[in-house]
């Protein structure tokens, strides 16, 4: 080979080595940036999860309170009119038994 060709090959090898180092540096830089962004997204998701968890807990408590109020209301009506409540329960049971009777 000629001296000029060897010099060109050596120059190309040096440029490739420099390019390799620059690519490694860029990859590390991108990795750090991506890690930082991922951590930020994870923190945002955690905050949103906690927010919606609190909202769900509040709504659940409201639903439980409404259910308890309904049970208390029915219990109070039964205490006020036990005979009427008994007749109503018997009538509802009779109607349901007629509707779902198997031997038609």
Look at residue 75 and tell me if it is in a domain: yes
In the numeric block, the tokens 């807990």 are attached to 57
Q: Give the model confidence (pLDDT) of 70-103 as tens digits.
A: 999 999 999 999 999 999 999 999 999 999 987 6
Look at residue 95 and tell me if it is in a domain.
Answer: yes
In a domain, 104, yes or no: no
Is pLDDT at 104 greater than 60 in this prediction?
no
Question: Given this model, what pLDDT does residue 35 score?
Answer: 80
41 falls within a domain: yes
In a domain, 55, yes or no: yes
Alpha helices in 3-81 (DSSP H): 3-80
Model pLDDT for residues 13-33, shown as the tens digit of each residue:
888 899 888 898 888 888 888
State how many domains the chain has. Answer: 1
| Global pTM value | 0.48
pLDDT in tens, 55-78: 999 999 999 999 999 999 999 999
Q: Of 92, 88, 63, 81, nearest to 71 (Cα)? A: 63
Q: How far apart are CA 102 and CA 104, in angstroms?
A: 6
Range of the domain at 46: 3-99
CB under 8 Å to 78, separation ≥6 — which residues?
85
């Amino acid at each position: 080979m000629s001296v000029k060709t060897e010099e060109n090959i050596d120059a190309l090898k040096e440029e490739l080595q420099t390019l390799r180092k620059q690519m490694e540096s860029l990859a590390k830089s991108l990795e750090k940036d991506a890690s930082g962004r991922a951590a930020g997204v994870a923190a945002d998701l955690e905050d949103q999860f906690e927010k919606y968890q609190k909202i769900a807990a509040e709504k659940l408590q409201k639903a439980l309170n409404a259910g308890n109020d309904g049970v208390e209301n029915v219990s109070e009506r039964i205490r006020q009119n036990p005979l009427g409540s008994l007749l109503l329960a018997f009538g509802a049971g009779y109607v349901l038994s007629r509707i779902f009777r198997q031997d038609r």
